[in-house]
Every structure is written in C-alpha cells, then in structure tokens.
Amino acid sequence: MSAKFPLELDQVLVQRKGKVLLGPLDLSLKKNGVTIILGPNGSGKTTLLRAMHGIERINGGRITWAQEDPAKHAFVFQSPVVLRRTVAQNLAFPLQLLNVPRAETEAAVAHWLTRIGLSGKSETAATRLSGGERQKLAIARALIRKPDVLFLDEPCANLDGYATREIETILGETAEAGTRLVMATHDMGQARRLADDIVFMLNGKVHETGAAEAVIARPQTEELSAFLKGDIVV
Amino acid sequence: MIDILDGLKAAFWLVISFDAELWEISLRSLRVTLSALIIASLIAIPLGTYLAVQRFRYRRFAISLINALMGLPPVVIGLLVYIALSRSGPFGVLNLLFTPTAMIIAQVIIITPVIASIAHQAMRELWAEYHDLLISLNTTKWQRIVTLIRDGRRNLLTAALAGFGRAIGEVGAIMIVGGNIDHVTRVLTTAIALETGKGDFALALALGFVLIGIAIVVNLAIHTLSRTEREGRW
C-alpha cells in the first residue's frame, strides 16, 4: 500500500458563486490499485479529483492524507497541457523544478521517451504532437517524478481505440509498479478493464461506492444500474 | 515627389560614402534606444508577468494605470524629466541634463508601460494555458514567472520590438532633455527636426530613410537571431 494512504475526505464541500459543485461528501480511499470515479457530465468527478489533489479550494470539510507531500501527487488533465517546448524538455520540466541533477534528468527523459514511443520525436515541438501523443507525454511527465498517487481526469476522452489501449497499458504497468491511480471517466468499458474499486458520482455527491466487481455486478441504486446499462442519468 | 526622390538619392549617397556625421548620429540613436530598451525590458517584462500571475488587491488598478501610461505624451514626460534633472530639480546634482543618459531616462519612462502592457497581455494568455499544470506541479511563484517568461519569449520579443519602435522614433522628449547638441546628444530624429526647420528637406528625408532602414534592420536581426519563424522546434 502506498505510504500516503489512507486518504480521508470528511464532509468536503466545494461551492462557487453560491452554487454547490461538490458535497458535502465523505470518502475514504484505502486500497492499493486503481480507483475509478464514474458519473455523468457535471456530476463532480473533476472537482473531486482537483480537490483531492489540492488545486481546488474547498469551502468546508477536511481532506486528510496519511502523509502530506504535494510533490508526490501528480495530475493528468482531460485536455493535456503541453509546454511550448520540445517533447524532451516537457519531460525534463518537473525534474528541473526539483533541481534534479542533469545526468539523472537526461536518463529519466530517455527512459520515458522510449516507454511512450516518442524517442524519434524528442526534439519536436510538443504542440505539434497528435492528441494521443500529447496525452502520453502528459502522463509520462506526471510519472517522471515517481509520484505515490496519480490523478487522471478522463485521460482517454476524445482518443481513438489504439491510443486508448496504449495509455491503458502504461496505466496498468504504473499501477502494478505501486503507484496509486485515481481516475475519472464515463467510459464503462475502461472502468471494467482498469478498476479495482469504483466511486459513482451524481449531482456532486458520492452516490455509490465499492469494489469494482461487486459494484458492476450488483449495483445498489437505480441510477448506477441505469448508468451501467448506458442509459442517460441526470 | 521630387523632394522624396532627392531624399532617397541623398540617403543613398550618405550611406555609401560612409558619411562620418551620419554614422555618429545613427550610432548614437542606436546606443540610446537599445540602452533604453534593455533597461525598460528588464523592468517591464517581469512586471507584466507578475501582474498576469499574481492576484492582489489593487491589481486591476495597476493594470489600468499601466495601460493609461502608454498614452502619456512624450513631450510631457520630457518636461518632467527636464525639471527633475535641471539644476534646481531633485536630481540636479547628478548633472545629467543634456546628456545621452537623460535621453535614455526619458525613453525608459516612455516605453516601459508599452512593453509592460503588451507583455502582460501575452503572459495572461499563456498563464491561462499553463495555470493548471504549474499549480499541479506545486511550483513557486518565482518558478511560474520564469517558466512564463521562458516559454513566452517570442511574444515578449514582440513587446520589446514595439518598445523599440516607439523609442527609436521618439523626438519630443529627447529634444527637451537632450537639447539636440551636435556631437553630444544629436540623434536621427532630432537631426530630422533640425534639418526640416532649416528647410533642407532632402537631408531631412535622407535621415528619415536611414532611420526607417535602421528600424527594419534591427527588427529583422532580432527576429533572425531569435529564430521566431522556426516552428518545428522551440
């Protein structure tokens, strides 16, 4: 189990301009492996991830990590943010911020370039990469610091099947290596392939949660049952 | 039309005959303007970037003030600098009035708001693009500013070139604080004003063409050296 866990959310509330975006909710992430946050658009998946990562200000409640070290969190956004630099410079950036020695940085960059299949494009401007390549770069850049926890906000949205499979392979290997993954998606197929446990969000609250197999096989609420069948849930 | 043709001919002969006075005036123009540009850029670029990144109480007022200062009449700035540097003024002891240094001071005051305003606009857009990533990487304020300046350098170059254009063509303020003294503070713009006053339109036009030529050459040189047209790499 990752040293940072358990992660406890106690009555967490996020409000903006008088509107409740999230909560109040309680949640506990204790297990190793992959947690998938499921839910329709606007259900609060992204806000929950951002709040856990610490980049969304909470208006109430408390988020408690077993060990607080922001440098050991990483986040991959739905629309990958790439720096206006080369692919290699993008990968090196998080390590340069930590003043990691140059030789060590270069070795890590070379390793990740090979791992994501972009060795031939190391000197290409990252802004010229395809959507799938950008997302792989963003994931590698997040993982290059060897985080304990990786938050991913629908990393495969708008990607084709091939790119999705490549990214899922990287994520599977990352989880096996011991990094805790917490990922938002509304792709049920992806949830089935990757999830160890599932958190189903609806209207800013945790509607149902549990081990992936049990939640998928025996949903306890009509809404999750409908969502799993592919019906529209609001 | 004849005057313009005469001016072109005179400019051509002045340049190819390596006219000593023309070279002296041109080099002084360049020295004063480039000095002012470097000093103003060192102030304005971090200032514009800071205003893009940092939220504070009077931020909107500070941005509005900088935008308003862009429209300050150079003659008024020249007058204020003159009063400040004159013998009875607060900085009279420095004995800077009617020196190239006084001209540089006036130009710095004129172009700093121009560069800061354009830099702020460019950095604001880049900050919107990078915000989530830099926050999620737990960067310090200083690291954010450095990253934005580094990655936004092409836009900042445009801001600096706008300042250069304003400074190299400036006449009112530097006429007042420099005094247009031959071999001391005479620059291309003040020489043009002088020759126009004397009725020597051909020479005034010739100097004007040289001024335009210098502005174009400097712009091209900076673009070439900074490789702004190379899009495949950064």
Does the domain at residues B2-223 carry the CATH identifier 2.40.30.60? Answer: no
Is some CB atom of chain B closer than 8 A to the CB atom of A84?
A: yes
- Tracing tokens 């990252």 back to the chain, one arrives at A126
* A86–B139 CB contact, under 8 Å: no
* B232–A71 CB contact, under 8 Å: no
Locate the chain A residue with the closest alpha carbon to B233.
Answer: A125
Report in angstroms the alpha-carbon separations of A216 from A27, A163, A195, A198, B171: 19, 25, 10, 9, 77
At residue B14, the pLDDT reads 79
Quick one: what percent of chain B has pLDDT higher than 90? 69
Encoding tokens for residue A11? Answer: 């009555």
Which helix (H) or strand (E) segment holds residue A19: the answer is: strand A19-29
Mean pLDDT, rounded, for A49-54: 90
Is some CB atom of chain B closer than 8 A to the CB atom of A128?
A: yes
Which of B129, B138, B232 faces A125 most closely, judged by CB atoms? B232
A70 band by pLDDT with thresholds 50, 70 and 90: low
Beta bridge partners of A9: A27, A63
Is some CB atom of chain B closer than 8 A to the CB atom of A71?
A: yes
Cα gap B139→B142, rounded to integer Å = 8
Contacts of A138 (CB under 8 A, 6+ apart): A76, A77, A80, A81, A82, A155
Among A19-23, A68-72, B121-125, B160-164, the minimum mean pLDDT is found in A68-72
Encoding tokens for residue B78? Answer: 């020249």
Is some CB atom of chain A closer than 8 A to the CB atom of B55?
A: no
Domain boundaries, chain B: 2-223
* B151–A86 CB contact, under 8 Å: no
Alpha-carbon torsion angle B185, B186, B187, B191, nearest 10: 160
Mean pLDDT, rounded, for B75-99: 94
The pLDDT tens digits for A23-49 are 799 888 876 789 999 988 888 999 999
Tell me the backbone φ, ψ of residue A206, rounded to 5 degrees: -75, 115
CB of B91 within 8 A of CB of B84? yes
DSSP A35-56: EEEE--TTSSHHHHHHHHHT-S
Beta bridge partners of A74: A150
Q: How many CB atoms within 10 Å of residue A138?
A: 25
* A124–B129 CB contact, under 8 Å: no
Which residues from B are below 8 Å from A95, CB to CB?
Answer: none
Beta bridge partners of A130: none
Quick one: what percent of chain A has pLDDT higher than 90? 39
pLDDT at residue B81 is higher than 60: yes
Locate the chain B residue with the closest alpha carbon to A53.
Answer: B136
* A86–B233 CB contact, under 8 Å: yes
Amino acid at A53: H
Amino acid at A173: E
Q: How many CB atoms within 10 Å of residue A205?
A: 17
Is some CB atom of chain B closer than 8 A to the CB atom of A63?
A: no
pLDDT at residue B33 is higher than 90: yes
Dihedral of alpha carbons A215, A219, A221, A223, sign: positive
Domain A7-82+129-229: top CATH class: alpha beta
- Tracing tokens 């392939």 back to the chain, one arrives at A193
Beta carbon pairs, A and B, within 8 Å: 46
Which of B:113-132 have CB within 8 Å of A?
A: 126, 129-130, 132
Q: How many CB atoms within 10 Å of residue B43?
A: 14
The DSSP secondary-structure symbol of B89 reads S
A20 SS3 class: strand
DSSP A129-165: S-HHHHHHHHHHHHHTT--SEEEEESTTTT--HHHHH
Among A68-72, A85-89, A157-161, B85-89, the minimum mean pLDDT is found in A68-72
- The CA-CA-CA angle for residues B111, B115, B118, to 5°, reads 140
* A89–B234 CB contact, under 8 Å: yes
At residue B44, the pLDDT reads 96
B2 band by pLDDT with thresholds 50, 70 and 90: low
* B132–A84 CB contact, under 8 Å: no
Locate the chain B residue with the closest alpha carbon to A124.
Answer: B233
Which of A71, A77, A89 faces B138 most closely, judged by CB atoms? A71
Where residue A31 falls (left for φ over 0; alpha for ψ -120 to 50; beta otherwise) is beta
DSSP A209-232: EEEHHHHHHS-SSHHHHHHHHT--
Q: Sheet holding A19-29: strands in order across?
A: A19-29, A7-16, A60-65
CB of A51 within 8 A of CB of A63? yes
Q: How many CB atoms within 10 Å of residue B229?
A: 8
The pLDDT tens digits for A170-201 are 999 999 888 889 999 888 888 888 999 999 99
pTM here? 0.82
Which residues from A are below 8 Å from B136, CB to CB?
Answer: 53, 55, 73-75, 77
**Burial (CB count within 10 angstroms: exposed 0-12, middle 13-18, buried 19+), residue A68:** exposed
* B234–A70 CB contact, under 8 Å: no
Beta bridge partners of A34: A181
Among A198-212, A220-234, B42-56, B173-187, the minimum mean pLDDT is found in A220-234
Which residues from B are below 8 Å from A84, CB to CB?
Answer: 126, 151-152, 234
* A81–B147 CB contact, under 8 Å: no
Where residue B142 falls (left for φ over 0; alpha for ψ -120 to 50; beta otherwise) is alpha
Is some CB atom of chain A closer than 8 A to the CB atom of B229?
A: no
Is some CB atom of chain A closer than 8 A to the CB atom of B21?
A: no
Encoding tokens for residue A34? Answer: 């992959």
Nearest C-alpha neighbor of A92 from the set A80, A109, A75, A73? A109
- Tracing tokens 């050296």 back to the chain, one arrives at B225
CB of A45 within 8 A of CB of A153? yes
- Range list of H helices, A98-130: 102-115
The pLDDT tens digits for B209-221 are 889 998 999 888 8
Domain boundaries, chain A: 7-82+129-229
Report in angstroms the alpha-carbon separations of B83 from A36, A168, B34, B80, B91: 69, 70, 24, 5, 9
- For helices A131-143 and A102-115, give the axis angle rounded to 10 degrees: 140
Locate the chain B residue with the closest alpha carbon to A76.
Answer: B133
Amino acid at B228: T
